[in-house]
């Protein structure tokens, strides 16, 4: 049976850890789903796969194109769609339009939006009331890279209190889960204990209810590896070796065999 947002909340109560990864194409989505991943995020980390230096240039049309492909490959996992920069910040009407397209055109089951400041919390409330499941995202928010950089967030008492307040507000607005990115593990554990909805950590320690990684980082396909990511395979090297072997055989007329 397909995984639902309510199941994720139940799993938190049961102490079952949530496994999440990113996907941007049919093949990856199908393989992750077949491998038993609980939640697949069509993340705006797609920007890196398209050659952008940050997530800022990514458009809603680009995200929709890739989300449709992922969704065609997924049967069981919950598919969450990252709303890209400036497709939800202007107004809750804009957010409703963008989220609606994600659910209607790509067939995803939820959207994720960054930030926990009052206007975003209000937007989350409007979306949830309209029947759109929303995942929050606080801490290091890549769409704010020009404002925050890529450094760890929540290191001061003031910042940590702000993040706790934001997390509680997002839950109250109806978010079904919250991504905690690149914050101190003690703070992430504290936030997790205060919420009844699951937290999904990325660079936030083991005290979260689940963990997510960018799949290209996990597989060794990224040009730059984040300090908190673990490489479980080095496909960049494997692909290079395979291509070089193919090239040698073609040039030596060993492939194809006569």
Beta strands in the chain (DSSP E): 18-22, 39-42, 78-82, 110-112, 134-139, 177-181, 199-202, 210-213
Out of 114, 166, 171, 181, pick the active-site residue: 181
Distance of CA 85 to the CA centre of its chain: 14
Helix (H, G, I), strand (E, B) or coil at 17: coil
18, two tokens: 């949530």
| CA dist., res. 36 & res. 132, Å (int) | 25
213, two tokens: 């990684």
223 is catalytic: no
| CA dist., res. 147 & res. 120, Å (int) | 17
CA atoms lying within 13 Å on the CB side of residue 214: 23
| CA dist., res. 43 & res. 141, Å (int) | 12
Nearest one of 199, 208, 202 to 9, comparing CA atoms? 199
| CA dist., res. 100 & res. 246, Å (int) | 45
Question: Is the preceding omega at residue 256 within 30 degrees of 0, hence cis?
Answer: yes
Task: Tell me the catalytic residues.
Answer: 181
């Amino acid at each position: 049976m397909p995984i639902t947002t309510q199941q994720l909340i139940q799993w938190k109560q049961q102490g079952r850890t949530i496994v999440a990864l990113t996907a941007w194409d049919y093949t990856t989505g199908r393989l992750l789903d077949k491998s038993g991943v609980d939640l697949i995020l069509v993340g705006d980390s797609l920007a890196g796969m398209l050659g952008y230096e940050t997530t800022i240039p990514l458009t809603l049309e680009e995200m929709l194109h890739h989300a449709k492909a992922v969704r065609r490959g997924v049967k069981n996992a919950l598919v969450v769609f990252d709303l890209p920069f400036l497709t939800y910040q202007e107004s809750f009407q804009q957010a409703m339009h963008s989220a609606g397209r994600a659910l209607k055109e790509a067939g995803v089951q939820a959207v994720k939006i960054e930030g926990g400041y009052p206007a975003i919390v209000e937007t989350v409330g409007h979306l949830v009331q309209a029947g759109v499941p929303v995942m929050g995202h606080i801490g290091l928010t890549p769409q704010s890279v020009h404002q925050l950089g890529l450094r760890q967030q929540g290191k001061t008492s003031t910042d940590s209190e702000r993040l706790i307040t934001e997390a509680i507000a997002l839950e109250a607005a109806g978010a079904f889960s919250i991504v905690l990115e690149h914050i101190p593990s003690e703070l992430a554990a504290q936030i997790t204990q205060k919420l009844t909805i699951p937290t999904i950590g990325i660079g936030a320690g083991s005290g979260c209810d689940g963990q997510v990684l960018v799949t290209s980082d996990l597989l060794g396909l990224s040009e730059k590896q984040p300090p908190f990511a673990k490489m479980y395979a080095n496909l960049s090297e494997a692909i290079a070796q395979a291509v070089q072997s193919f090239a040698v055989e073609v040039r030596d007329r060993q492939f194809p065999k006569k």
